[in-house]
Amino acid sequence: MVVDEFVTCHMCVTMDLVQAVAAHIVSHLDPNRRSHPLFVALQGPQGSGKSYLSAQLKKQLTEPPHSLNVAVLSIDDLYLRQQDLAALAAETPRNPLWAGRGQPGTHDIDLGTTILRALHRQEERVEIPVFDKSLCDGRGDRLSNGLVIHPPIDVVILEGWCVGFSPISQGELDERWDGVWKEQCQSLSLPYFFQKSDLERVNEALKRYTELWSYFDLLVQVWTIWQLRGSE
């Protein structure tokens, strides 16, 4: 991913924050080159306010004085269809990380790449998928019909907890497995509920996600108060 600058946001999404991030995005727009949108990745942990911030940014950017065309996509909407999620779980029955949706490896990277490529090319019609988590007794499934948008688009925002994540080396994975992860589990009196080989598969799956990240120009990170306190 090409990252010009990092913007760190607190968990409390205020209008001042929305305006600051919106201004940051607008400052990276090239008024003389609108052949493709500005791609913005928005990353943060669950419950940090990513979806709300994305919606507010879209509202802010589409209204005057900016009056931009904005498309918002969640990484959650790229989950595999339920039948494919079930097939993945059946193929790896001993890997609890792939027992359901959530982890890298449970998203349709081909679909995501197709969508971002279409947006980048400003194709006449682009369908944004919608994944409904309430379907299939809470296991979720992708709706047969998504949201159709018609470029040109000025800004594309992709939000998600693992947006921008890259695979780590085997050496780093080994070091963390025997180091910080082991220490954290011991401090919380939690057993490992998966094997290192399970984590290695997820790490391997992340290699394909770089196809998505390669489209992005900016990365906005949302940090919770607890993350900020932990970094002190």
Mean pLDDT of 159-187: 93
**Per-domain residue ranges of the chain:** 6-168+209-230
What pLDDT does residue 33 have?
63
* CA gyration radius, the chain: 19
Q: How far apart are CA 140 and CA 6, in angstroms?
A: 33
What pLDDT does residue 43 have?
93
Q: How far apart are CA 36 and CA 207, in angstroms?
A: 25
- pTM beyond 0.75, yes or no: yes
What pLDDT does residue 9 have?
52
| Mean pLDDT computed over every residue of the chain | 89
What pLDDT does residue 216 have?
95
| CATH class name, domain 6-168+209-230 | alpha beta
What pLDDT does residue 104 have?
97
Is residue 226's pLDDT more than 80? no
Q: How far apart are CA 10 and CA 113, in angstroms?
A: 30
